[in-house]
Structures are given as structure tokens and as C-alpha cells.
Structure 1
Amino acid sequence: MSESELIYLLALQRIPNVGDITAKKLLLHFGSAEEIFCAKKSTILNVDGIGERTAKLLDFSTYEREVLQELSFIKDNNIQVTYFQENNYPENLKHCIDAPVLLFQKGNIDLQQKKLLSIVGTRKVTNHGIAFCEQLIEELAPLNPVIISGFAYGVDICAHKSALANNLQTIGCLAHGLNQIYPKVHKKYEAEVMKNGGFLTDFWSDAKFDRKNFLKRNRVIAGLSQATLVIESAEKGGSLVTADIANSYNREVFAVPGRSTDLLSKGCNNLIKQQQAQMITSAADLIYYLGWEVEEKKPQQTQLFVNLSIEEEKILSKLKELGKVELDILALACQMPTFEITSHLLSLELNGLVRPLPGKQFEAI
């Protein structure tokens, strides 16, 4: 991406009421941001969904001064800018319709061929939540995942610190520009994160702290990763929004269950109860559902004689008939609830008859 194109892309970001979806629509129609601003008003109005008001706002001179200020900030602070059509743009985010047109980052971020996990939860995390987070990341460490979170209080910073303690790459997704760290008390972790990971945002350096920004930031957390894990959450909270976004992207969502009387488990329990998240109680559960063990496992010889239950025989028969199949579809085909079929699948896997695949898929061996 040339500096000239970056300037026009920054200007496109400043147009009121033009979000990432509309911006992409314009970019795909005209081919470049510069062509958008050079186009005649009548041509712009031919783009589906673009009205008179938006067309009138496409005046580069209106935004030139602030664009050049932001460009200076980017240059002076060695900020890396990635465009959604470039090869180095995060692959998982490319598949999200509302992903940022531009991403600003700093640090040593490497997402290529990596296992990516977002961990979110309450800012008022309990000792139990902290212990679970630390143990989970320690157990995942041999698989070398990238741990993604929002660098906020509570579960977020616990996830980042645990990743660093296990020498794992970690990424903080910010709800503001890269000129600051919020909360300020987490500034002390900035240098260490920069060495083994970094920070991502789609906000400019003049972005103010606003609740809307934090909710917008959550789409990046959900979109970057293969799966989102909610460790603790009250009945309402930002982490539940992240889980909802992850579900809308058709990504895996996991939740840690708690007692029905625990206020900070209500959100997780509801996700599980409403089948919006898979319940996990250990790193082994997460590894199993994501199929992260597949590459590390040695080939397992199929046992010749295995005593199977009626349900297991039914499941195995369906897998042989359907081939690779998603868990929900398999449950429907076998006329079994998901929670029940999961335990049978684990038994079949241990007997070397079934293998889990990424994306909640399974196949007969």
C-alpha cells in the first residue's frame, strides 16, 4: 500500500456514518480510496446503499489536515498499517464482514500458521477465575497458541500475564489509539507484550474513551481468533457481547461453568444453557473440541475388536455414511442431544475409531 493510498484510506475512515461495511463496498466498486474521492457525485450515487448525504461528504479537503496529522503519528511511532485486501492482514479477520478496513499495530505480531485463542471475562475476576486462567494457559503452552484479549482489568490482563509467563505470544486489542495504554496501571506490561506479541487497534490516536469503542473493539477480539473463551461473566457484560459476535462469525465459543449461586458465573452458565457455548472444565476439553491435538498425535491403530454400545454403533455408522460432519449435524442425524453424543464421541476416539477435526467436525477412521 502506497503512502498516497493510505492517505485516502484514512480520509475514508473519517467520513461520518461510513463504517467498515460501507467503506468496503465503495472500495470494491472503485478499486481504490483515491478513486472514490475523485469520482463524480453521480457515479458515487450509482453504488448500492450510497445516498446524497454520504456522496456530499466525500470531499478530501475536509479531512486533509487531520489525515496528515495522523499520518505523522503513524510515521513517528513506527506504526504498522495493514489494509484488509493485503496478504499480511490477519486471515481470520478477512472473513468478517465488519472487520476494520485498516488495522494499526505495533510490536512483534506473528499470526501465520498459529493457533489463535481469545480469552475474555469479567473485570472483577475471582481467585478461582484467575487460577483457572493460569492453569489453562500453562496446559496449552506446549501447543504454542497466541493468546488474544482486551488488555483490560480482570480476566484480560490475567490472560496476557499468563501468556507471557509461559513465553507465549499475546496480543492486546485496544479500544483507543496506539498513543496510550488504558488502564494506565497496565502500562508496566507494555514493553514485555511488545517483545512477544503486541497491540492492535482500528482507532486513531485522537480516539476518546467511550463505551461504544470498547464494544467495537470486541469484534476484533472475536474475529482474530479461531475460538473465544469466556472464563467468568455476570449476567450482562462486554465479554458476552464478544461471545455473541464470535457466534455470528461462526467461530467456536467456550465457557467455564460455575455454581448457580455465583453472580460471576451467571453469564457463562447462560451461554452453556442456551447452547451458545461449549462447556469446558480444562485445557483438554478445549484441545479436543478444536482438534488441536490432531497434528501432534501419533497415528493410532484401529482396534479390531471393540465392544460398542448401541449408541456408539449408531454414531459410528452415521459417520461412515456421512464422512466429515459437524457435531450439530451428527447429533441431528443420530437423533441425540449434543451433550450426550459428545461423550460417546470421546469414547470412540479413545478406541481409535473416530478423530476430531477443526470446526467441531468429526470423521470415522
Structure 2
Amino acid sequence: MNNDERLCSIALTLCPGIGHIGAKRLIDAIGSAVDVFGYRKELPERLPGVNSSIITALDCPAAFLRAEREMEFVEKNRLTCLTLRDEAYPSRLRECEDAPIVMFFKGNTDFNRLHVINMVGTRRATEYGKRFCTDFVHDLSVLLPDALIVSGLAYGIDIHAHRAALADNMSTVAVLAHGLDRIYPSVHRKTAVDMLVNGGLLTEFLSETTPDRHNFVSRNRIVAGMCDATIVVESAAKGGSLITADLADGYHRDCFAVPGRVTDAASIGCNRLIRDNKAALVQSAEEFVKTMGWASAEPAAKAAGIQRNLFPELTDEEELVVRILTHQGDLHINALVVEADIPVNRMSALLFELEMKGVVKALVGGVYCLLA
């Protein structure tokens, strides 16, 4: 990826009146940020229905001046600038309509590994919530040592999830609500630095951006969108973690909540999520892995159901899915999306067709296996 695409992606975020969704739609339709600006005057022919105000907004020299300053900051501080067209960009997030078209990263990890989860919760964590984080992550490190733990570096559950991951040598990423020229809260600086070795810090915000309140809601969509599942450990009746859970549901991600006593204020939000069927109850890492279908399927489960046709006619995309399942074994639909680089809505249709042809079988938790 050349610097022109990065520069233009940053500039596009700074053009007035376009926004997250508008910027992504332009790039999806035209192909690149460079071409969005290069074909600015021809957009009405290339993208019918585009508003004339968009054409005017793209004529913004000030946006490029600020983008150039940001690129200098990126290079000086050896940050990674990720655009939608970068292979390292979180592929799960790329499928979301409001995904950021450019992000900044400091650290060392793979966002596109097979298992990515986030753990979020109240800033006023109780000993119960802290202990759950420690025990859950420790057990997960045995079951799925290559999993990535994502959170927001905030007080409470967030920071305990990060520290638990570090204690068990698991990769952990903090998604920030400000630029990479600062750490908020500052008391978590040491943890943030420790995360750079195996994990790191990720943000969509330019340097000099302060942690304003509305930025945290924007940050939460990234936390939800880049993961396979959201785990709400503790939450009061209202809170940012409930927003993250709602966003995860909107992105068709799995959502889990840790139950608490009905008298505990820190568990009201979790208990309601479970009561309203907005989240599955989770009590342990083993239970979570089994529910997600990330554990090895029993041979009997594979044998059950329809038999595979001997010579089904498959499309090229269906053949690709079959090859992936042949080489890697049972996979969650999100993992198949990553491996095949096929949008989730298209992948769902392909898997349905393969089921009808007797080639694959759906297991519990969105996992698919190849029938013998």
C-alpha cells in the first residue's frame, strides 16, 4: 500500500459532511481513496445519486494539509497506518458499514487471527468481575492460546482484561478514543507500554484528538466490529459496555454476559441482557469455547444429518470454502469470512447452498464442518 492511499484516506476523513458511512461507501464504490479524489468531478457518472455537496466537500486543500501533518507524525513515531485496502486491516471490521477507512496502530499483533474476542464492562468493577476476568483469560489461554483479547484500556473491567491477558502471555489490543500522542487514563500507561510487545494500541483518531465523551461511543463500534464475540463481564443499568453489546448484535456478532446476583448494581445490565435474550449466559472459558463451536467437534456430530452428495456441482466460491474446510477443519462463519475474504452476507448464502447440496453441516454456535 503506497502512501498516496494513506494520505488520501486521512484527508477523506477530514472533508466536512461526509462521515464514516459516506467515506466507506465512496471507497467501496470507486475502489480507493486516491480515485475518490482523482475522479471527484466524475463521481455523478460513476456513482449515480451522489449529492453535489459531496463533490464540493472533496475540494478541501485544508484536509490534505492536515493529512500531511498526520503522516509526518505516523512516520516519526513508527506507527502503522491501516487503510481499508491494507491486508492487515481487521477484516471482520471491514465488513461493517460504518468501519473507519483509516486507523493507526502501535504494537505487534495479527488482527485477522481465527479467534478474536472483546471483554468489556463497568469502570467500577467489583472483586467478582475482576476475578472472572483473571480466571476466564487464564483458562482461555490454555484452550485457545492464539486468541486475541480486545478492550478499551478504561478503568475497571477493561484494564483487568488487558492485564489478565498479559499475565497469561496472550495478545491483547486496546482500542482508544483519542490519538496515539497520549494515553488515557494516564495511570494505565505502563500497561499500555507492556501491550506493545504482544498486542498494542489501535485508534481511528488523529493525533491531538482528546478523549471527548462522544469519541468513546465511536470507539465502541470498532471494539464490537473487529471481534467474533463480545463478553460483557459487569455492567450497571446503563453504560458503554451495553452500547458495545448492542453494536455487536447489529453486526451479527455473538454476545455473552456474565450473570450476577439480582441485588448487585454492577450486574443489572448483564442480567437484563440475558433476560432479554440479547446475550447468552457465560460462566467459564470452557463453556464459551464450546458455545462458539471453537472446540473440536465430536465425530458423531459430523456423522449426524444428511450425507454428502458424491459429485455435487460447485461454484468457484463454493470450491474455495470446501478447500478451506478441508485444510483447516471445522470453522466458525467469521473465520471462513476471514480466510476466504468473502463478505459475511455472501458467505451465509454460500454456506446455505453447500448445506442444501449436502457438502457441509452447521454445528452449534455458527460453526460449519465438511461432511465426509
TM class by shorter chain equals: 0.7 to 0.9
Do the aligned residues in 1 keep the contact of 2:82 with 2:104 (CA within 8 Å)?
A: yes
Match of 2:196, SS state, is helix
Instruction: Indicate conservation of the 8 Å contact 2:294/2:367, yes or no.
Output: no
Change (3 A) 1:262 1:48: farther
Q: How does 1:200-211 map to 2 (within 5 A)?
A: 200-211=202-213
Kept after mapping to 1: 8 A contact 2:5/2:83: no
Look up the equivalent residue of 1:12 and give its one-letter code.
L
Q: What residue in structure 2 maps to residue 108 of structure 1? A: 108
Does the 8 Å contact 1:258/1:265 carry over to 2?
Answer: yes
Name the structure 2 match of 1:336: none
* 1:247 counterpart (246, 249, 253): 249
Deviation sequence 1:65-89 (CA, Å, 0-9, x none):
2111111101101111122123221
The code of the aligned residue for 1:236 comes to K
Structure 2 counterpart of 1:349 = none
Distance across 2 between alignment mates of 1:114 and 1:237: 29
Q: Is the 8 A contact 1:99 1:220 kept in 2?
A: yes
Counterpart contact for 1:104–1:202, Cα < 8 Å:
yes
Q: How many residues align?
A: 320
Runs in 1 of length 4+ with deviation above 4 angstroms? 299-302, 321-324, 354-358, 360-365
Match of 1:341 in 2: none
Matches within 5 A, 1:63-212: 63-142=63-142, 143-144=144-145, 145-212=147-214
Amino acid at match of 2:141: A
- Cα gap change, 1:38 to 1:133, in 2 (>3 Å): same
SS in 1 for 2:230: strand
- Where structure 1 has 5 or more consecutive residues not aligned to the other structure, the ranges are 303-315, 327-353
Q: How far off its partner does 1:248 sit?
A: 0.8
SS state of the match for residue 288, structure 2?
helix
Task: Tell me the TM-score normalized by structure 2.
Answer: 0.79
Q: What CA distance in whole angstroms lies between the structure 2 residues aligned with 1:42 and 1:29?
A: 13
SS of the aligned residue for 1:320 comes to coil
| Alignment of structure 1 residues 268-287 onto 2, 5 Å | 268-287=270-289
* 1:42 positional shift: 6.1
Unaligned runs of 5+ in 2: 309-329, 333-360
Kept in 2, the 8 Å contact 1:83–1:89? The answer is yes
Deviation at 1:54, TM superposition (A): 2.5
State the alpha-carbon separation in 2 of the partners of residues 363 and 284 from structure 1.
24
> For residues 272 and 367 of structure 2, what CA distance do their matches in structure 1 show?
21
Q: Which residue of 2 aligns with 1:37?
A: 37
- Tell me what 1:359 maps to: 366
Counterpart CA distance in 2 for 1:40 and 1:247 is 35
The answer to whether the 8 Å contact 1:289/1:360 transfers is: no
Q: SS of 1:243's equivalent?
A: helix
8 Å Cα contact 1:37/1:60 also seen in 2: no
> Is 1:320 the counterpart of 2:322 in the alignment?
no
**Alpha-carbon distance in structure 2 between the residues aligned to 1:361 and 1:91:** 19
Tell me the amino acid that sits aligned with residue 129 of structure 2. G
One-letter amino acid of the counterpart of residue 129, structure 1: G
1:201-226 deviation line (CA, Å, top 9, x unaligned): 11111212211110010111111111
Contact 2:180-2:206 within 8 A present in 1 as well: yes
Counterpart of 1:260 in 2: which secondary structure?
Answer: coil
Asked if the contact 1:45/1:52 (under 8 Å) is kept, the reply is no
Say which SS state the counterpart of residue 99 (structure 2) adopts.
coil
Letter of the aligned partner of 2:289 in structure 1?
Answer: I
Residue in structure 1 matched with residue 266 of structure 2 by the alignment: 264
AA at the equivalent of 2:305: K
Out of 10-19 and 116-125, give the one that drifted further.
10-19
State the TM-score, normalizing by the size of structure 1. Answer: 0.80
Mapping of residues 292-303 of structure 1, within 5 Å? 292-294=294-296
% identical equivalent positions: 38
Deviates more, 1:31-40 or 1:203-212: 31-40
Residue type at the aligned position of 1:78: R
Separation (CA, whole Å) in 2 of partners of 1:129 and 1:74: 37
Contact 2:24/2:100, CA 8 A, preserved across alignment: no
